[in-house]
Amino acid sequence: MKWDISEMGSWTYKQFPQGAVIPEAGNSNDYITGGWRSERPWRNDEKCTQCLLCWIVCPDSSVRVADEKVTTFDLDHCKGCGICAQVCPTDAIDMVPEGCDLPEVK
Amino acid sequence: MPEHKTLAATGNTVVAEAMRQCKPDVMAAYPITPQTTIVEEYAAMVAKGRVHTEYVTVESEHSAMSACIGASAAGARVMTATSSQGLALMWEELHIAAGMRLPIVMANANRALSAPINIHCDHSDIMGARDAGWVTYFAETAQEAYDNTIMACRVAEHPDVMLPVMTTLDGFITTHSIDRVSVMDDESVSGFVGQYVPKTALLDLENPVMHGAFSGLGGPYFEFKKQQRIAMENARKVVKDVAEEYAKLSGRPFDVVETWGMEDAETAIVVMGSTAGNTRHVARDLRAKGERMGLVKIRVWRPFPHVELAAALKGLKAVAVLDRAESFGAEGGPLFLETRSALYDAAERIPVVDYIYGLGGSDVKLELIERAYKDLSDIAAGGAAPAGPVYLGAREEA
């Protein structure tokens, strides 16, 4: 079931669910947390061996994978914690300050 | 009708017995004097297969209440017990249990807080939990502790309430003294409390929900607190309705404010917990000598029965409040503050004197209560009220 919160701005205490229980699972996906980020991960495809360690450790499930290969980062939810860059065995991930141009692939 | 059996038992034994009869799915508890025998005897009943409860042994009271919260959110009927430093260590979880609207039932063996370290009775621990949002009962006797526990289960799980409930009994005096207690058969109790059917359970996989979400700046945190206020106000009626139904079963009437000798009383003492017994004893002696004195006992501390209390004290010439807890820097102890606030709307001003007594298990001698009644008759005769709060029985300069 999709929880309809479109009118939430005009809800009173009567409309909010008892005990702040959200009657829908997994809706944290709708909440964009990427805006908290000060550094974004950038992956060098040439160095990457597709070991998927970054995908395993990402606390926000923000490493996107297709056909068992890392494709992109979900920047709507990545908070820029840098764990992926830290664990990468081939240093294929760099943390790049937000607001800067991404480096050229060498 | 239920079968009644009379036992010679301690308050703690019959609280454990009442909990067993309510059949909680989960108990997570940590032992602390003078609560220990509740959870110890309960653990023995689990070990012997007398009750099918998941008994979680934890490393602290902080963890005990955390585990209770998790289990309750999962949809279980949950009970536990604590005391003093243990209740203090639960402080943040007490607010979480109430805010998440989880109907946990907990017994508290009322005991002093450190420092200095002390294991004996007073109400400092429970007053520290005063504003946590729990419905709170006080017991004078082991019988009341038994009855309160069973009623607590129904009140907590009532759809108009859905709040945690604490049932308190005085450390050692009620928890450890052997008392005459009438208990009912298991079937009657379990029939009375019924089955708990949670509306939003984490373990209900068909209807997945999220408990414990964030509500920050601009979010509805304020509105959720309003819901809690309404739930606590609803508890006023539910406590009475449940008690009325329970009285039919048990044969023991209950009121949120119970009075003795108030028909023609000129003065009265307001008291909670075991000291009501001492006070009644003194009042009975004084009435036999022709003094018009009464007793008003508060059985439910939250929601506080201010209307009922004001009605009980209406028209009196003087009132004494016995407070077994301090609120340093306030005009008096917590019960005094509530009582005087309840009387604010009275047509005529009634002098109210606060007596702090029995802290850390300090002996509550009958002559101390006589002294409070004596002060009241002096005030009723036109004398000045003593400056409060009076430390009743503390060693002071003569």
pLDDT, mean of residues A32-50 = 94
Residue B7: per-residue pLDDT? 97
pLDDT, mean of residues B33-40 = 98
Residue B234: per-residue pLDDT? 98
pLDDT in tens, A58-104: 999 999 999 999 999 999 999 999 999 999 999 999 999 987 665 55
Question: Does any domain span residue A46?
Answer: yes
User: What's the gap in Å between the CA of B211 and the closest CA on chain A?
Assistant: 5
Cβ contact A13–B224 (<8 Å):
yes
pLDDT in tens, B282-297: 999 999 999 999 999 9
Residue B218: per-residue pLDDT? 79
| Chain A residue nearest residue B223, CA to CA | A13
Question: Does any domain span residue A21?
Answer: no
Residue B38: per-residue pLDDT? 98
Residue B394: per-residue pLDDT? 95
A28 contacts in chain B (CB < 8 Å): 210
pLDDT, mean of residues B130-149 = 98
Question: Does any domain span residue A10?
Answer: no
Beta carbons of B69 and B106 less than 8 angstroms apart: no
Question: Does any domain span residue A17?
Answer: no
Q: Report ipTM (2 d.p.).
A: 0.87
Cβ contact B102–A13 (<8 Å):
no
pLDDT, mean of residues A30-50 = 93
- Chain B interface residues facing chain A, Cβ-Cβ under 8 Å? 99-102, 162, 199-200, 207-213, 215, 220, 223-224, 226-227, 230
Q: What is the rounded CA–CA span in Å between residue B42 and residue A93? A: 55
| B-interface mutation test, from A1, A7, A18, A28, most B Cβ less than 10 A away | A18
User: What's the gap in Å between the CA of B85 and the closest CA on chain A?
Assistant: 27
- Closest listed residue to residue B245, CA positions, set B378, B147, B339: B147
Task: Residue window 56-85, chain A: list those with CB within 8 Å of chain B.
Answer: none
Cβ contact B200–A25 (<8 Å):
no
| pLDDT for B122 beyond 50 | yes
pLDDT in tens, B338-363: 999 999 999 999 999 999 999 999 99
Nearest to B210 among A11, A12, A25 (CB): A25
pLDDT, mean of residues B290-317 = 97
Nearest to A18 among B101, B208, B220 (CB): B101
Mean pLDDT of chain B: 97
pTM of the model: 0.92
Buried b (16+ CB within 10 A) or exposed e, B291-322: bbbbbbbbbbbbbbbbebbbebbeebbbbbbb
User: What's the gap in Å between the CA of B214 and the closest CA on chain A?
Assistant: 9
Cβ contact A19–B99 (<8 Å):
yes
User: What's the gap in Å between the CA of A21 and the closest CA on chain B?
Assistant: 5
Q: Write down the domain spans for chain B.
A: 4-184+239-250, 257-391
Sequence-ordered list of residues with C-beta below 8 angstroms from that of A97, at least 6 positions apart, any chain? A38, A39
A11 contacts in chain B (CB < 8 Å): 220, 223
pLDDT, mean of residues B176-184 = 98
- Closest listed residue to residue B296, CA positions, set B156, B283, B288: B283
Question: Does any domain span residue A8?
Answer: no
Percent of all residues in chain B with a pLDDT value above 70, rounded to a whole number: 100
| pLDDT for B244 beyond 50 | yes
What's the domain count of chain A? 1
Question: Does any domain span residue A91?
Answer: yes
Cβ contact A22–B99 (<8 Å):
no
Question: Does any domain span residue A3?
Answer: no
Helices of type H across chain A: 53-57, 83-87
Domain covering B257-391 in this structure, CATH number: 3.40.50.920
Q: What is the rounded CA–CA span in Å between residue B313 and residue B205? A: 53
pLDDT, mean of residues B157-174 = 98
| pLDDT for A29 beyond 90 | no
| pLDDT for A106 beyond 50 | no
Residue A1: per-residue pLDDT? 63
Question: Does any domain span residue A12?
Answer: no
Task: Residue window 4-33, chain A: list those with CB within 8 Å of chain B.
Answer: 11-13, 16-28
Domain that holds residue A87: 34-106
Question: Reduced to 3 states, what is the DSSP secondary structure of residue A1?
Answer: coil
Query: Are both B4-184+239-250 and B257-391 of the same fold?
Result: yes
Cβ contact A24–B209 (<8 Å):
yes
* CATH architecture for residues B4-184+239-250: 3-Layer(aba) Sandwich (3.40)
Cβ contact A19–B101 (<8 Å):
yes
Q: What is the CATH number of the domain that holds A90?
A: 3.30.70.20
